Amino acid sequence: MSAGSPTTVLIVEDELFVRMIGADALEEAGYAVIEAASADEALAVLEEADNVEVLFTDIRMPGSMDGLKLAEIVHDRWPNIRILLTSGDTRPSRNDIPDDGRFLAKPYRFESLSRELTTLLDSR
């Protein structure tokens, strides 16, 4: 991470406990974190926030779209936002993930999450 302001990660996870643990771990690692419980909420956040650098989203969520559709929309509208997808029961193909986004299978260790974020941010 840069010496300036921390990298902002938008974590999108419908399971409150999983979202809280992920957000806490990211904050402890020095990231700024914004939380959303659904893809629709994430899009509303992105309309207002101009500092999000990484979208970290679950694939399977209730609501009008899943994490893959969210990633596609984010990639189209905010191409500078890096994308990291996660799921415990869905494994997308490389072609399903926009741009140079990454996938991290659940359950994941924080070290794996941190490594994936570093890889994403280094590829900017």
Q: What is the pLDDT along the chain (124 residues), one digit of tens a residue?
A: 445 789 999 999 999 999 999 999 899 989 999 999 999 999 999 999 999 999 999 999 988 999 999 999 999 999 999 999 999 888 888 888 888 899 999 988 888 998 899 988 887 6
Residue position matching structure tokens 């984010």: 74
Domains annotated for the chain, with CATH where assigned, are: 8-122 (3.40.50.2300)
Confidence (pTM): 0.92
What lies within 8 Å, CB to CB, of 116 at 6+ separation is 84, 102, 104
Q: Can you give the pLDDT at residue 94?
A: 86
Q: Can you give the pLDDT at residue 30?
A: 92
Give φ, ψ of 15 to 5 degrees: -85, 110
Sheet containing 52-58: which strands, arranged edge to edge?
A: 32-36, 8-12, 52-58, 82-87, 102-105
Rounded CA separation 98/79 (Å): 10
